[in-house]
Structure formats: structure tokens, C-alpha cells
Amino acid sequence: MEAASPSSQCSYSYEKYKETADWLLTQTERRPKVAIICGSGLGGLAELLDDKTIFPYKDIPYFPTSTVQGHAGQLVFGKLQGCECVCMKGRFHFYEGYDIQTVTFPVRVFFLLGVEILIVTNAAGGLNDSYSVGDIMLIKDHINMPGFAGQNPLCGHNDARFGVRFPCMSDAYDRELRVLSKQAAKEQGCDSFLQEGVYCMLAGPTYETIAESRVLQKLGADAVGMSTVPEVVVARHCGMRVLGLSLITNKVVTDYESSERANHEEVLRTTEHRAQDLQRLVSHLVTKL
């Protein structure tokens, strides 16, 4: 049973997903109903779990490994406010060299574990002029730019055991979960920096040019990043409910006279500053599910 590497171009069979899920089910008594994917620098969410069982990605059959700073590479099972959860400390990205099926591999494993709700978090650049660094954006919709170029995780054979051939995406981000998130934010004193908007995914690893940023604004994007959308597509294909949260870690440069430049270190610094607020929000939200 070999782990996937960035150069792998495999298309996984149902049997491989099930083999991974069955292995995990034999290694832990946990039966999670909520899965949380932690974005850059947001792995602290996993530290909130009680009675933790931790699996390094490299030990899990067929599981990819994360290569990005700020992504620890661990699958953590445990209880969050009494709710059975599984948490990914570090996700996989298209820009690491993984194909789109490998990026989304864990989501179908979660489905076979019995997960019903997926919470995805990410660090994102703010495109909306009214956003401030440190804001948390509830994702209400997305723009799948790699999908426009044919990089959709559902391309190829459709296995009806996971979902239908042509899944709807107009309701990708669960409205009820967004309402509960707003309530949780108000109760936790986070509503002053809570936004709601559209997330746009680019393939990366380069940050956006000024011209590209202006195009994305015209398309209606409020924030931009390099992840999340493929996992959401697969989760919805499997019938999971999805909540997405973007931490606005930098303002996207849209002015040719600006001397500011996006960099990953700034992203991690901002994430460290606001991560506890995001953790409080998610932790309190889980009590409402």
C-alpha cells in the first residue's frame, strides 16, 4: 500500500477509497460526522479536539503528503465540543504537482467514514475593497477557474456510489450552516470582522498579476486563493453539506503604483494573528450542528 506522490497521475478506484477508509476505521473507534480541512497556518483547529487520535499522512494507505509550509500533514480524530470530528492539518494543492483527483482523495474517504458535514478553511487574498486584513469571509459561492480549463475532479468515469453524473453547484455552500455561522460569530464577538462573499480559486503557485486581480474583481470575486474548490465539488458530489471560511490574510494588489507585494510569510503571520478567532468561531458553530 503505497502513498501517493506529487508526480502520481492515478485515478482512484472505489476500492482504493474504501481500503483507506476501512484501514482508518480499524485503527480508531472514532466515527466522525464532521470533517474540517485546515488551510495555511490554521492547523491549530485540530489542537482543540479532545481524546485525539493522530495519523501522519505518510502512514495512511494511498494518502498524499503535504509539502507546503504551514501544513503539518496529519489526520486527527477526536471530539470538538462533544461532536465527533476528523481534522486535516494540511491539505493538498494542484500547484504541488498533484492531479486533481489526488487533491480531493481525502474527501471521498471522509464520505466512506460517514462524514455528513465538511468545513473547509483557507487563507485568501482580499479582492473586495471593503475587506480588511484579518476579516473572516463566509463563502457563499465560488468561481472555479481551473474548472474553466477542464481541471474538474469529477472529469472521467462517474461512480454512482459517490454521486450523480451532473451534480448541482448552485447550492454548494449550505445556507443553513451560513446562518448558524453568523449566529455563532455574533455570540463570540466575531461579527464585526465577519464578511460573506465569493471565493475564486486559481491554480497557483504564483500570486495574481494586477491585470488578473482586476479581471477577478469584475467577475464578482471577493477573495482569491489556491485551494478549497476541488474539495467542495467532490463533497457536494457525495451529498455532504459544506461550510467554507476564508481568512483574509492580505489585500490583493490592484494598483500599478503600489509597492506592496504578496508573499507567503505575510499570509502565515496574519493567520497566526487571527487564527484563534477562527478557531473560536468554528468551535462554537459545532455546538449548533
CB 161 within 8 A of CB 242: no
Given a cut of 70, whether residue 195 has pLDDT beyond it is yes
Supply the pLDDT for residue 52: 93
CA 102 to chain centre: 14
Supply the pLDDT for residue 242: 98
* Domain layout of the chain by residue ranges: 26-286
The x, y and z cell numbers of residue 107, run together, are: 474527501
**What are the helix and strand counts (H, E) for the chain?**
9, 9
Supply the pLDDT for residue 53: 94
Nearest-angstrom CA–CA distance, 174 and 241: 6
pLDDT tens across 16-58, in order?
Answer: 999 999 999 999 999 999 999 998 777 888 888 999 999 999 9
Q: Which helix (H) or strand (E) holds 217?
A: helix 210-219
Q: How many CA atoms lie within 13 A of 64 on its CB side?
A: 31
CB atoms within 10 A of CB 254: 16
Nearest-angstrom CA–CA distance, 274 and 49: 19
Supply the pLDDT for residue 2: 53
Confidence bin at 8 (pLDDT 50/70/90): very low
Taking residues 239-244, what's their average pLDDT? 98
Supply the pLDDT for residue 196: 97
**71, 75, 80, 85 alpha-carbon torsion, rounded to 10°:** 130
Minimal CA–CA distance to 30: which of 60, 58, 61, 51? 51
CB atoms within 10 A of CB 2: 7
Given a cut of 80, whether residue 70 has pLDDT beyond it is no
pLDDT tens across 209-219, in order?
Answer: 999 999 999 99
Nearest-angstrom CA–CA distance, 113 and 86: 10
Supply the pLDDT for residue 110: 98
pLDDT tens across 126-161, in order?
Answer: 999 999 999 999 999 999 999 999 999 999 999 999
% of the chain surpassing 90 pLDDT:
68
CB atoms within 10 A of CB 143: 17
Given a cut of 50, whether residue 9 has pLDDT beyond it is no
pLDDT tens across 156-182, in order?
Answer: 999 999 999 999 999 999 999 999 999
| Catalytic positions | 40, 71, 93, 95-96, 123, 226-227, 250, 264
Nearest-angstrom CA–CA distance, 156 and 251: 37
Supply the pLDDT for residue 272: 74
Architecture of domain 26-286: 3-Layer(aba) Sandwich (3.40)
Taking residues 84-110, what's their average pLDDT? 93
